[in-house]
Amino acid sequence: MTELRVIEPPVPETAVATLYCFPHAGGSAGEYARWAAHTPGLRLVAVQPPGRAHNLGAKAFTAMPELVREILTRVRFTPPFALFGHSLGALVAFEVARALRQRPLRLFVSSCEPPPLPGRAQPLHLLDDSALHAEIERRWGPLPATARSDKDLLSAALACYRADLQVLETYEHVPGPRLGCPITAIAGAEESRGGALMTGWREHTDGAFESCERPGGHFHTREDLDGLGRLLGDTVRADLIRAERDMSR
């Protein structure tokens, strides 16, 4: 059974907007749930596709269109809101923003080059389990020790990665109208090409564009959570003030 989950940590009393978050390949919503203590001005909603965490054995999505359709069906986007996606999640958030009738306050894209994506000589999702495991750890670091020491758990985790990588590697960008909302592109300072990789996102919005680098590598989202929380919260609050000012004119 393919089942998408929506995880919502307790809502802080100071929340003025909702931030919908989409995970990286192989990632789970629990990572974003931990941000709640660092983003007091935001209500966090973490969108978890099937095939990971407590739903590890479920069938995962393998194509972007069906994943986006399921998100639009299962997730209620309550304004005012913004979208955040890391790595593969950035592409998912972008396609959700394009498909929504309601315009988000802002789209945050993290550590993902903008579409259209270059082709890959050897797609990772076609590798056998052993080669896929080695390539995942070479690129993004070791899998959790619990997965590495349990054959069945490792097999399920690799199946999740394989499905997500298939979403990424078969993704085809369909040109269309640019977004009307601002985009903030974020990269880790230690990533290959860093912020330079993200500048092309400017071409996907008619609104404002900002880019920044944060301490760390590809998973900079796991470092300096207070700093990341301030960046997200301050930006969304400023967008909300501007939106309210525009409406009062």
Each residue of 77-92: pLDDT tens digit?
Answer: 999 999 999 999 999 9
Write out pLDDT tens, residues 9-60.
888 888 999 999 999 998 888 889 889 889 989 999 999 988 886 676 678 8
Range in 23-27, 144-148, 170-174 with the lowest mean pLDDT: 144-148
Summarize pLDDT for 123-135 with one digit per residue, the tens: 999 999 999 999 9
SS (H, E, C) 87-100: CHHHHHHHHHHHHC
**Domain ranges (residues) in the chain:** 5-118+175-248
Residue range 5-118+175-248 forms a domain whose CATH class is alpha beta
Of the residues 24, 86, 133, 218, which is catalytic? Answer: 218
Residue 22: count of CB within 10 angstroms of its CB: 28
pLDDT score, position 121 = 67
pLDDT one-digit tens code per residue, 187-207: 999 988 767 789 999 999 999
Q: Tokens at residue 98, please?
A: 């394009």
Burial of 177 (C-beta count, 10 Å sphere; 0-12/13-18/19+): exposed
The arithmetic mean of pLDDT across residues 153-159, rounded, is 88
CA distance 187 to 124: 22
Per DSSP, 205 falls in state B
Q: How many residues comprise the chain?
A: 249
- Known active-site residue 204: no
Residue 30 CA, chain-centre distance (Å), reads 13
Q: Is-catalytic flag, 218?
A: yes
Query: Is the pLDDT reported for residue 2 higher than 60?
Result: no
Q: Active-site residue among 24, 28, 86, 87?
A: 87
